[in-house]
Chains A and B, each alone.
Chain A
Amino acid sequence: MATEILMPALSPTMEEGTLAKWLVKEGDTVQSGDIMAEIETDKATMEFEAVDEGVIGKILIAEGTADVKVNTAIAILVEEGEDVPAASAATTQVPQPAAAVAEAAPAGGSLANSGNTAPLAPVKATPPWPEGTKTKKQTVREALRDAMAEEMRGDGDVFLMGEEVGEYQGAYKISQGLLDEFGSKRVIDTPITEHGFAGIGVGAAFGGLRPIVEFMTFNFAMQAIDQIINSAAKTLYMSGGQMGCPIVFRGPNGAAARVGAQHSQDYAAWYAHIPGLKVVMPYSASDAKGLLKSAIRDPNPVIFLENEILYGRSFDVPLIDDYTVPFGKARVWREGTDVTLVSFGIGMAHTLEAADKLAEQGISAEVIDLRTLRPLDTDTVIASVQKTNRCVTVEEGFPVGSIGNHISAVLMEQAFDYLDAPVINCTGKDVPMPYAANLEKHALITSDEVVAAVKQVTYR
C-alpha cells in the first residue's frame, strides 16, 4: 500500500520550511532511520529520516522549494514491486492532527453600543526614526546578532558566554556566525551550569569586562537568580558606588509553543521588581537591535528579555550607523483617542491585533510599547491616559504582581482624575502553563480578550 510522506514539523514553532535537498531519488529503497532529505527551517537545516521502509515511488515536491507547509505530501512511498498510484487520492493519507475544540465566541459584540461604530480609517504605525530614513527588513533574530556583532567590533572587552552559543551557533541561532568572526576567546561555550557561569560573568564584570551572558531560555536563569539579584544588582549600592556591574543577561523569555509548565514563563515582572537591574523587553527588530546595543554599553546589569516566537518575525530596521534606542522611552505605535493600550514584548503582537479589530468597530486605540520596564516611561502612559481617559494593559505573565498592576497603581496615584473607568490588566491565566494545545491556547492572552476589556472600559 502506498503512503504519502508528509512535510514534517521539526521544531515546536515550525509551520513551514524549505525542502533544501533530497538525499534519495525515485526508485530508491529506504529503511527506517535513513536520511531522506534536508529541510531548512528558520532555525536550522535538519535531516529528515524515514520512519517506514519502502521504495520512493514519486517525489512530489522538488528540492529547493521554499515555504512548504507542514503536512504537505512531499513524496510517495510504495512497497517493493508496487506501482506508484496514478493519483494521490489512491494513497492512505496519514491523518491530520485533530482540530482544536471550537472556541467560544469572544465576549462583547455589537449590542448596546453607544457612540461611533463605523470602522475607522487604518492607522499606520509611525516609525521612531527621522522621515526619509532608508530601512531594510530584518528578523528579530538577525537584529540581535547584528547588535552583538557591532558592539563586539567596537569594544574588545565585550564577550558572549552561554550554553551552545559558539559551535552550535546558538540554541535559537541568535549567535550565528559570531564564533567565526570573534573566535573562541570571545564567544564561549559553557557547560550547563547557569549559577556558575552567571557568577563568573558578574565577577568578570567586576574585573573590568563587559559580558553578555546568554541563558538558553530565561526559565534556566532561575538556577542563577541569586547571582543576578544578590551579586549583580546590589553590589554598586553595597560598595557605596565603587563597584559597578556592566553585564547583559539575555535570552528568550515567556511561552514558546507547547513546551509545558517548566519552560513557559514570563519573568518580566520578577526582574522589574529589583532595584539595581535594568529590564528591557523589545517587540520589534529595530528596538531589539537599538536596545541591545544600549544594554551592552550600559554600566549596569541589564536583563534583556527576548521571545522565541518573535525571533522569526520581520520588521523594518533603519539603515542608520550605530543605531541605538535609549532606555526609559516608550514608543507610541499608533495614536488614538478612545483608549490607551499599554504593552511590551510579545504582548504587543496581541495588542496591535486588538487595535486593528477595535478600529473596525469604530474604537480608536492608542498603542504604547513600553520597551523597557526599568526604567519605566510612566510619563508617556500618563500623557496618553490624560487624552483617552481609559487604559488597558496587556502582558503574557501571571496576573498577581504583574507589570499591569504596577501601571494601574501609577495611574491611580498620578492620573486618578483623568480616569473614566478602572484600568483593566489583561494577563496570562493564573495557572502553570499546560501542555495540551487547547488548554495552552486558553492560558495565553489573546487579542479577543483585549478587545473585550476595551469594550468594558469604554462601556460599549
Chain B
Amino acid sequence: MAARKTTAKPNVSADELLAYYKDMLLIRRFEEKAGQLYGMGLIGGFCHLYIGQEAVVVGLEAAAEEGDKRITSYRDHGHMLACGMEPGGVMAELTGRIGGLSKGKGGSMHMFSKEKHFYGGHGIVGAQVPLGAGLAFADKYKDNGRVTFTYFGDGAANQGQVYEAFNMAALWDLPVIFVIENNQYAMGTAQKRSTSTPELYTRGEAFGIKGEVVDGMDVLAVKAAGEKAVKHCRAGKGPYILEIKTYRYRGHSMSDPAKYRTREEVQKMREERDPIDHVRDLLLTGKHATEDDLKTIDKDIKAVVSASADFARESPEPPLEELWTDIYAEV
C-alpha cells in the first residue's frame, strides 16, 4: 500500500480499531448501495454520498459520549449510521417509504432521531451551524454537560451566519464543536477558488475560538482531535473548531459532470489515502485480525446493507393521509 505515514503505535485497543473498521465499512457499503438504488430509479431527487469521508464521523463518534448531540448538512447518511440509527430506516427514507425515519416525507437530506440525538439533515448550506450553536445553548442552559458536534462543509464555511454563530458561541461559551469537513470542493468549486484564506481552522481566531487542522483520512487522528475538543467544551471553555481535511470520492450529488477535478486526482486519493484501507493495514500489520476475519466482517456488513435495501424496497409508500399530518404539533 501507499506512502502513508502510519500512525506509529495506535493508542487504541484492537477492539476499538475493529469497531472503527466496521463502522466505516458499513457507511461505505451502504453508500455504494444507495448509489446503485438511485441508478435504478428507486431513490429520487438529491442523494449526496459520504464515500471517502467515513473517518471523520467515525472518529468523532468515538470521542462522543451518550447524550452528546450532532447536526449536519444534507450529506448525512454517514452521520446517521455512525450514531447508531437503523440502516433499514435510513435506506427506506431514501426510497421514500413509510418505514423510513421520516416516514418517507423527508428524503435523503432530511432525517432526524431524538433517540440518537441526531438533529438532521439540513438542506440549506450553512443553516445548521447556528442551529448547532442553539442546541449547545440549550445544553448550557440546562447545565447538563453535553456537547454538540456541528458539522458543515468547506463551502458552507463562507456563509455569513456561520460567523454570527461563532461570535455568539464564543461570547456565551457554548459547548459546541464546529466541525468543518473540508473535502476540498463545494459542488464544482475547489476550495481555493472560493476562500480568501484557505486555513479554515483559523476562522475562529477573531472571535477567540481555538481551532486545529486534522487529517480526516486517519480515523485515529480524528478521534484524538475530537477528544481534545470535547474536553475543552465540557470544561466550560466554550466552542472549538476542527477543520478536518477529507475527500469525497463520488460526485457532489448524483448528477455531477465531474469536470472540475481529474480522474487521476480521485484515483490517487483512493489508492494512497483511503481511510478504510488505513485501518485495515493497522489491523493486519498489528496482527489484530487476519484476512479471513476481515472477509467475515465484510460479508456480515454486506448482509446488513442488503437487508436494509430489501426493507427499503418492500416497505410501502406512505398512505396519502400522511400528506396532511405533522404540519403542526398537537396543542
Q: Which residues of A contact B (CB under 8 A)?
A: 6, 8-12, 14, 32-33, 35, 41, 43-47, 49, 51, 70-71, 94-98, 100-101, 163-164, 167-168, 171, 189-193, 195-196, 219-220, 222-223, 256-263, 429-432, 434-439, 442-443
Contact = CB atoms under 8 A, between A and B. Distances in A.
A168 B251 CA distance: 13
A236 to B, nearest CB: 26
Given A9-B38, A46-B255, A257 B322 contact: no
Contacts of A98: 42, 313, 317
28 contacts: A9-B38, A12-B45, A12-B254, A41-B255, A43-B255, A46-B256, A98-B42, A191-B195, A192-B194, A193-B158, A193-B159, A195-B160, A219-B124, A257-B44, A258-B45, A258-B96, A259-B45, A260-B109, A261-B105, A262-B110, A431-B327, A435-B106, A436-B96, A436-B318, A436-B322, A439-B104, A439-B317, A442-B320
B324 interface: yes
B110 A260 contact: yes
A434 B326 CA distance: 11
B123 interface: yes
B105 A436 contact: yes
Interface in B225-273: 249, 251, 254-260, 263, 270
B124 A434 contact: no
A339 to B, nearest CB: 28
Given A10-B254, A45-B257, A189-B189, A438 B318 contact: yes
Contacts of A43: 255, 257
A114 B123 CA distance: 50
B32 A431 contact: no
B123 A192 contact: no
A97 B327 CA distance: 28
Contact of A261 (B41, B110, B159, B320): B110
Nearest to B194: A191
Contacts of B155: 191-192
A100 B106 CA distance: 18
Given A9-B41, A168-B188, A259-B45, A443 B254 contact: no
Contacts of B223: none
B39 A6 contact: yes
Contacts of B93: 435
B185 to A, nearest CB: 11
B186 interface: yes
A223 B123 CA distance: 12
A333 B127 CA distance: 42
Nearest to A7: B39
Given A98-B313, A168-B260, 4 more contacts: A223-B124, A258-B45, A432-B327, A435-B106
B70 interface: no
A119 B322 CA distance: 38
Contacts of A436: 96-97, 103-105, 317-318, 322
A258 B255 contact: no
Nearest to A264: B45
Interface of B: 32, 35-36, 38-42, 44-46, 93, 96-97, 102-110, 122-126, 155-156, 158-160, 186-189, 193-195, 249, 251, 254-260, 263, 270, 313, 317-318, 320, 322-324, 327
Nearest to B256: A46
A340 B194 CA distance: 50
A429 B323 contact: yes
B42 A97 contact: yes
Contacts of A163: 187, 189
Contacts of B323: 429, 431, 434, 439, 442-443
B322 to A, nearest CB: 6
Contacts of A190: 194
Contacts of A222: 124
A435 B45 contact: yes
B61 to A, nearest CB: 25
A71 B41 contact: yes
B17 to A, nearest CB: 24
B160 A193 contact: yes
Of A14, A70, A101, A191, most B-chain CB atoms within 10 Å: A191
Contacts of A438: 96, 317-318, 320
Contacts of A432: 327
A189 B158 CA distance: 13
A399 to B, nearest CB: 13
A259 B322 CA distance: 18
A261 B123 CA distance: 9
Contacts of B189: 163-164, 167-168, 189, 191
A42 to B, nearest CB: 11
Contacts of A101: 317, 320
Q: Which 6 A-B pairs have the closest CB atoms?
A: A435-B107, A11-B255, A8-B39, A258-B44, A258-B45, A436-B104
B39 A435 contact: no
A368 B122 CA distance: 38
Nearest to A70: B41
A192 B188 contact: no
A259 to B, nearest CB: 4
Given A9-B41, A258-B107, A435-B105, A192 B320 contact: no
Given A46-B255, A192-B155, A436-B96, A431 B324 contact: yes
A192 B255 contact: no
A259 B74 CA distance: 11
Contacts of B257: 43-46, 168
A35 B250 CA distance: 11
Nearest to B325: A431
Nearest to B315: A98
Contact of B254 (A11, A191, A195): A11
Contact of B41 (A35, A96, A167, A195): A96
A314 B288 CA distance: 62
A460 to B, nearest CB: 27
Nearest to A193: B158
Contacts of B32: 32, 51
A12 B251 CA distance: 14
B107 A97 contact: no
Which of B39, B42, B97, B155 counts the most chain A CB atoms within 10 A?
Answer: B39
Given A12-B45, A435-B96, A192 B39 contact: no
A173 B140 CA distance: 46
A262 B105 CA distance: 12
Contact of B44 (A168, A189, A437): A437
B46 A12 contact: yes
Nearest to A45: B257
B182 to A, nearest CB: 14
A199 B188 CA distance: 23
A146 B323 CA distance: 40
A305 B106 CA distance: 25
